[in-house]
Chains A and B, each alone.
Chain A
């Protein structure tokens, strides 16, 4: 049973400046009594008192301004950050697609990166070798897969990362906004695969600024604001509250063939 539960979780980042990140300061700090307020290390409260319960079949859009805590929340849900206060429990195989510049080695080939990402996500080498051709075909990168990753454009990296996560049947798929970098033709292709994937097993959490993408994949949404969950409800309600107008109506005007099948906000 795939689920993510988070109880009153907070994520606080200690910000060590160059000086306080040393033993000397710690030792001297004790001798000299308390300097400043309670903590010597300044803290950024990235997430505050998050309580969530997501389960199989949930398709959640994540909206909010820059710095509202969307990416941090995704990392909390991936289990990369364990809450500093509160608790979290993640049941299921997680596949994240976050910042695409990092977590891939620019010096090694696309093939190697596919292999390493797959292994990190819990696949075996044999399983990945079987999937490599499928991924190569899906990403349309062809001979480029032999090239070092540093020669790839952002869009090509997104293709690669999406190719890996969609080929390995993850139970929990976490997508950050970076995946908007691919062109429309590829996105159409990825859509089918993602939809298929989400329908098959999973739980999807998708941070994006595009109403179309959100409408396509999600039926509920979370509005993050200053590290809080400001609203967690149907996609249409959240988007309406977040934007101040109903984006779906406008979408209908522009696009005579609605792409909104299966959005639960209605």
Chain B
């Protein structure tokens, strides 16, 4: 009668293990192969958000522009610094911060928000993360327009040796090092992927994580040298290198992530210790994310 009746299913279960590093790697690799998919979806998200507005995605740029202008003016007055160097500093810092905060907060929500797709179409879960990170990259590209405008206005203040505040170190000014922002940002994006994989999977299981992250992220913003310059710490400490208060910036990993992109864009000294620390986080973070992916990748569709 039928060849496929259940009782005579001959083969014994081979090694089709669901929990293996092979499957975890395969998930990431297949997601990369699907780049046309998440590339398209990321664009779609942006177009969708501004579908019926008149000036569309220009709103992204405008909102960044006004925020950077206001923060730059306010804090340059508060810290008694020259607005010509401080405004670009705040602008770039805020653009990079916006990318980081977007990836972290939306990263915790990435699988929960895509419940429908996860339950209805078989696809590697990393696809949803890639889509989100790509969307944030596109936001950042919109915001770079603000950087270009600010740079055009204040170029004459940045193209030679300058310093932001009286206690800040001298910066060499804009030079070829500006291209280092590209590998710097690439490294940041690679980190964004593991962060949202890790936090995404954990948040899908424990729904307390997104609100916890959301409430602490603002604190991190004020702890990170974005609207204030790490040089201010010199004023507090009197320039002493070993002072514990210097650690406020150094112990904050976000500072290093911001710095690898910000420093080249402003013509600041490219300090290699930031790159080393970010490199360490990349290795450690991806390892952690792959362990989580190995153990819980298949559980995500059950948990959402």
- Chain A positions within 8 Å of B, measured between CB atoms, are 5, 7-8, 13-14, 16, 21-24, 26, 51-55, 58, 75, 78-84, 86-89, 94, 96, 98-99, 102-103, 105, 107-108, 112, 115-117, 119-122, 124-125, 220, 229, 232-234, 264
Measured in the bound complex, the distance between the Cα atoms of B149 and A73 in whole Å is 56
Q: Distance in Å from the Cβ of B159 to the closest Cβ of chain A? A: 43
- Tell whether B11 is near chain A: CB-to-CB under 8 Å: yes
- Within 8 Å by CB of B44, from A13, A78, A116, lies A116
Q: Contacts A81-B301, A102-B116: A51 and B9 contacting too (C-beta < 8 A)?
A: yes
- Tell whether B242 is near chain A: CB-to-CB under 8 Å: no
Contact B2–A264 (Cβ < 8 Å): yes
Q: List 9 A-B contacts (CB under 8 A).
A: A5-B9, A13-B302, A14-B303, A23-B206, A80-B119, A80-B121, A119-B34, A119-B36, A229-B6
Q: Distance in Å from the Cβ of B209 to the closest Cβ of chain A? A: 8
- Tell whether B118 is near chain A: CB-to-CB under 8 Å: yes
Task: Name the A residues within 8 Å of B13 (CB-CB).
Answer: 7-8, 86-87
Q: Contacts A8-B13, A24-B208, A232-B6: A80 and B301 contacting too (C-beta < 8 A)?
A: yes
Contact A116–B4 (Cβ < 8 Å): no
Which residue of the partner chain A has the closest CB to B209? A23
- Within 8 Å by CB of B118, from A7, A80, A105, A220, lies A80
Q: Contacts A5-B11, A87-B17: A120 and B298 contacting too (C-beta < 8 A)?
A: no
Contact B206–A21 (Cβ < 8 Å): yes
Task: Name the A residues within 8 Å of B280 (CB-CB).
Answer: none
Going nearest first, the 8 A-B pairs with the smallest beta carbon separation are A103-B120, A82-B298, A102-B116, A119-B37, A7-B13, A79-B122, A82-B18, A120-B121
Measured in the bound complex, the distance between the Cα atoms of B116 and A98 in whole Å is 11
Contact A103–B121 (Cβ < 8 Å): yes
Task: Name the B residues within 8 Å of A84 (CB-CB).
Answer: 302
Which residue of the partner chain A has the closest CB to B212? A23
Measured in the bound complex, the distance between the Cα atoms of B120 and A220 in whole Å is 25
Q: Distance in Å from the Cβ of B117 to the closest Cβ of chain A? A: 6
Contact A103–B9 (Cβ < 8 Å): no
Task: Name the A residues within 8 Å of B218 (CB-CB).
Answer: none
Contact B206–A99 (Cβ < 8 Å): no
Q: Distance in Å from the Cβ of A147 to the closest Cβ of chain B? A: 13
Q: Distance in Å from the Cβ of A81 to the closest Cβ of chain B? A: 6
Which residue of the partner chain A has the closest CB to B119? A80
Which residue of the partner chain B has the closest CB to A221? B2
- Tell whether B265 is near chain A: CB-to-CB under 8 Å: no
- Tell whether B245 is near chain A: CB-to-CB under 8 Å: no
State which residues 85-135 of B face A: CB under 8 Å. Answer: 116-123
Task: Name the A residues within 8 Å of B41 (CB-CB).
Answer: 116, 119
Contact A94–B18 (Cβ < 8 Å): no
Q: Distance in Å from the Cβ of B106 to the closest Cβ of chain A? A: 17
Measured in the bound complex, the distance between the Cα atoms of B66 and A21 in whole Å is 40
Task: Name the A residues within 8 Å of B301 (CB-CB).
Answer: 75, 80-82
Q: Distance in Å from the Cβ of A48 to the closest Cβ of chain B? A: 14
Task: Name the A residues within 8 Å of B9 (CB-CB).
Answer: 5, 7, 51-53
- Most chain A beta carbons < 10 A, residue from B6, B205, B303: B6
- Tell whether B51 is near chain A: CB-to-CB under 8 Å: yes
Q: Distance in Å from the Cβ of A237 to the closest Cβ of chain B? A: 8
Measured in the bound complex, the distance between the Cα atoms of B5 and A54 in whole Å is 9
Measured in the bound complex, the distance between the Cα atoms of B14 and A7 in whole Å is 9
Task: Name the A residues within 8 Å of B2 (CB-CB).
Answer: 220, 232-234, 264
Task: Name the A residues within 8 Å of B209 (CB-CB).
Answer: 23
- Within 8 Å by CB of A80, from B5, B48, B122, lies B122
- Within 8 Å by CB of B40, from A5, A125, A220, lies A125
Q: Contacts A14-B302, A21-B206, A22-B206: A54 and B4 contacting too (C-beta < 8 A)?
A: yes
Contact B11–A75 (Cβ < 8 Å): no
Task: Name the B residues within 8 Å of A13 (CB-CB).
Answer: 302
- Within 8 Å by CB of A233, from B1, B14, B16, lies B1
Q: Contacts A23-B208, A54-B4, A125-B40: A94 and B120 contacting too (C-beta < 8 A)?
A: no
Which residue of the partner chain A has the closest CB to B40? A119
Task: Name the B residues within 8 Å of A96 (CB-CB).
Answer: 120-122
